[in-house]
Amino acid sequence: MGLRPNLLTRRTAGVATSTLALLLSTAAVGVVPAASAFSAAPAGVCAEPADAHGHADARVAKGGHPRLDPNQLTAQQVREREADLAAAQRERANFRTGPTVAPLASVTIPVVVHVIQENSTRAGGNIPDSLINQQITVLNQSYAGSTGGAATAFAFQLTKINRVTNPSWYPIVQGSSAERSMKTSLRTGGKNTLNIYLGELSDSLLGWATFPKRTLDKMDGVVVLNESLPGGTATNYNQGDTGTHEVGHWLNLYHTFQGGCSGSGDSVSDTPAEASPAYQCPTGRDTCSTAGKDPITNFMDYTYDSCMYQFTAGQASRMLTAWNAYRAA
């Protein structure tokens, strides 16, 4: 859509290397907390809501059905998640469990990619390594802020490509027993390891992801449509931003349209409120009476890959806060 000058050039030129200049606060500057966030559990008590993290968040293509989004959170689910984040922060502070990433430090996340195939053909899911390597490049550029948004603390290092031919797991059906079997069999690493599952997906979904939680769950990870990787065949969604979007959820970001025009929205103060998902690239769209036009260029909306290019400073801060609370090894 022409909103990102030279973006494709930058993305094919390799990962930009730069020093973080953004001050990311572990106190989540720019994050709007839920009203009950600091009264959910006594200090030091590990009280995880039973259903606070049992969801997966998604990205839906134009023409798909948002109702099929496996985790468009309710207001109650958001309150539970925000309360749990506060409790996890207190737990870390009280017991000093695990290292805390300093505001200006960088975090390199190990990435294991599982390529789920029906057979050995490209149509059967056997995408080339080159697409996967390009996806890692896109993640690094997006999270470094080199596509135009705020820099975050995160970088990504591919450690393994695991190819699995199993027709019973193909296509990947969200919420199915086959998905659980797949992840239970394949997931590797600790809470700090990003597991990405690639394949054909059900229900017109481009991808989905789990939010972080205090106890490691075998379902933890990101599922992405294989042909949405850079150079894939998913028209308008083949520059790798589905991966960027889903990793955002894995690092605790909500959709920009979470909560619509009321309440705390996506719990980040510098993303303007948005009544509903934006598709294609509706420049100038403004669905809420509060300040700011809809954040259609934000990675956490539903617009075309050519339209989205940024995280905000508040989102960067929220991700680092959640990393320290949940995923820091």
Positions marked active-site: 246
- State how far the Cα of 53 lies from the Cα of 95, in Å rounded to an integer: 22
- State how far the Cα of 157 lies from the Cα of 267, in Å rounded to an integer: 29
Query: Residue 225 forms beta bridges with which residues?
Result: 199
- State how far the Cα of 169 lies from the Cα of 97, in Å rounded to an integer: 37
- State how far the Cα of 116 lies from the Cα of 196, in Å rounded to an integer: 10
Record the tokens describing residue 193, joined without a space. Answer: 């390891």
Record the tokens describing residue 294, joined without a space. Answer: 């809809």
Record the tokens describing residue 252, joined without a space. Answer: 């605790």
Tell me which residue of 210, 22, 212, 200 sits closest to 121, measured CA to CA: 200
> What are the backbone dihedrals phi and psi of residue 163, each rounded to the nearest 5 degrees, phi first?
-100, 130
HEC string for 205-220? EEEEEECCCCCCCCCC
Whether 248 and 150 have beta carbons less than 8 Å apart is answered as no
Amino acid at 201: L
Tell me which residue of 282, 252, 279, 277 sits closest to 267, measured CA to CA: 252
Whether 301 and 162 have beta carbons less than 8 Å apart is answered as no
